[in-house]
Amino acid sequence: MRPLIAVLALIGLAGCGAGGGGGEAGGGSAAPAAGKTFTLDIASDPGALDPQGSAVSALFGMTQYAYDSLVSVAADGTIQPQLASAWTAEGTTLTFDIKSGVTCADGAPFTAQTVVDNLTYVGDPENKSPFLGVYLPAGATATASGSKVTVKLAAPAPFALNGLSNLAMVCDAGMKNRASLKAATNGTGPYVLTEAVPSDHYTYTLREGYTWGPGGATTAEKGMPAKVVVRIVANETTAANELLSGTVNAVQVIGPDADRLTGAGLKSVGTQALVGLQWYNQGKGHPTADPAVRMALTQALDLKQLQVAITSGKGAPATQFATLAPSGCAGDAVTGHLPAFDAAAAGTALDTAGWTKGADGVRAKDGKPLSVSLIYDSGLGSAGSGAAELAVAAWKAVGVEAKAVAQNQTQLSGTVFGTGDWDVAWVPLNVSTPDQVMPFLSGPAAPKGTNFAAIDNDGYLAAATKAMGANGAEGCPDWFAAEQALYQAADVVPFANSVVPTFLKGVELDVVGSIVPTSIRMLG
């Protein structure tokens, strides 16, 4: 199971979460070595590379090599300089002082006006960026004066800086020609894409003279890799074998192969993540648009059993949406608020709603059988398929015809945001602040918006709107009340957290939501 962490991991969708300090593999000197290549295996291809065009985790992780954001968030939650040297946040006004001397990979200067152009692009609903309302508050406007950017928010946004720390900034040439970003990069980051072979590998080359990384990081540090190669390897056992053989330097693995890597003495850097999150398609024509069906499908599941299966016994119950550390809200919003496992009650609910069993044991209503499809990320590996089999068996036991289909991240994103051809989906959202999930839980349904499950929960919206008016963590009780309105209605069902380890060999690095490129040190 190798869900990379991003916004929809599918999305592990990851945001700015933190994973702990650096780690290194056993064996070899701890001294940094210059001129080496860092090779990473990921489970699925990112698709088009426009960093503002997709929320899948594979793309989010790769974006970090070639692009920067205005600010960054350290593992302890503090905001650090990146493209901005200083900033203020007062009420609904944010200001940023853009560093001088920042250059793009093509040599062009990066300016305050470039920032404004980026924010304007993402903020325009016509451009359908999935980060509108997630990393950039809806209705925000930006202006530039000299090296200063002023952002006016349409309403209070308690975690606006955290969101902007995840929003990649594209350089002028890329802004003018968005099509050029599909298979190339155009940013200010420490690396530039020099080779792209979709579904196989992507190669990034180190930039000289880069001095504006997170907290003042530069590319002059000894041990930074001269090249980064991201390889697409779907099978977790293959990836684990390649790490053990030294073919690659890093890979995320959860499941039986993780035990093998730990047993071989390989160290890892872990990130706490939400890996089990069940959604119901409430769009017209889907059986899961019926609240009774959603409740019954939830009651039919032993969520503890699912948690054990999907995490290979290494996980824990889910606690809230904003799981990635440093989380904006501390605590547990989930326990005691999900419908309890009760197969008999599930059957009774379906009977009451008019879904009656036929001679074949399958329920039907108005001549239409109760049939649901479950889609899930193929990157979850054998653990995911095992958990899916448990869910399908539980639903069949209460008279629901069910099937499970694994899809890679690109397919999964296309299904939930595009075709809508699904009834139940396991799509983990991974963010660090609760406001970042609002566009996925309210507002226009896909494909017009990012509310891909077509959720319409007045209780959630009322409590979340109240929370948005508070200052940061002061709104957490209302954020938790908002989530609980969803759980109690079985609109979404979080059922598993787990520490996702990035196993390492011949390298040390930090993970803050995704691998921090300027933290990578190759070892001799």
Query: What per-residue confidence (pLDDT) applies to 448?
Result: 85
Name the token pair of 394: 């539980």
Integer-rounded Cα radius of gyration of the chain: 23
Alpha-carbon span 189 to 400, nearest angstrom? 50
The single-letter DSSP state of residue 304 is H
Query: What per-residue confidence (pLDDT) applies to 255?
Result: 72
Alpha-carbon span 132 to 436, nearest angstrom? 10
Query: What per-residue confidence (pLDDT) applies to 413?
Result: 86
Pairing of strands 268-280, 492-504: antiparallel
In contact, 210 and 190? CB cutoff 8 Å: yes
- Of 184, 344, 235, 251, the C-alpha closest to 40 is 251
- Of 16, 47, 15, the C-alpha closest to 407 is 47
The CA distances from residue 306 to 179, 232, 275, 383, in Å, are 42, 28, 11, 10
- Of 460, 84, 499, 17, the C-alpha closest to 451 is 460
Alpha-carbon span 11 to 415, nearest angstrom? 13
Q: 67, exposed or middle or buried, with CB in 10 Å at 0-12, 13-18, 19+? A: buried
> How many of the other CB atoms lie within 10 Å of CB of 396?
15
Query: What per-residue confidence (pLDDT) applies to 7?
Result: 42
- The DSSP secondary structure of 251-303, one letter per residue, reads EE--SHHHHHHHHTT--EEEEEEEEEEEEE--STT-GGGSHHHHHHHHHTS-H
Query: What per-residue confidence (pLDDT) applies to 381?
Result: 81
Query: What per-residue confidence (pLDDT) applies to 81?
Result: 95
Q: What pTM did the predictor assign? A: 0.81
- Of 394, 431, 316, 425, the C-alpha closest to 17 is 431
At the topology level, CATH places domain 272-500 in: Dipeptide-binding Protein; domain 3 (3.10.105)
Interacting residues of 183 by C-beta distance below 8 A, sequence separation 6+: 48, 49, 196, 198
Residue position matching structure tokens 């609904």: 92
In contact, 303 and 318? CB cutoff 8 Å: no
Pairing of strands 424-426, 371-377: parallel
Query: What per-residue confidence (pLDDT) applies to 253?
Result: 85
pLDDT in tens, the chain (524 residues): 233 233 444 333 333 333 444 444 444 457 999 999 999 999 889 999 999 998 888 899 999 999 999 999 887 888 999 999 999 999 999 999 999 999 999 999 999 999 999 999 999 999 999 899 889 999 999 999 999 999 999 999 999 999 999 999 999 999 999 999 999 999 999 999 999 999 999 999 999 999 999 988 999 999 999 999 999 998 889 999 999 999 999 998 877 898 999 999 999 998 888 999 999 999 999 999 999 999 999 999 999 999 999 998 989 999 999 888 778 899 999 999 999 999 999 999 999 999 999 999 999 999 999 999 999 988 788 889 999 999 999 999 999 999 999 998 788 888 998 999 999 999 988 888 999 899 899 999 988 888 999 999 999 999 999 999 888 889 999 999 999 999 999 999 999 999 888 999 999 999 887 899 999 999 98
Alpha-carbon span 65 to 193, nearest angstrom? 8
> What residues does each domain of the chain span?
272-500
Backbone angles phi, psi at 361, to 5 degrees: 85, -5
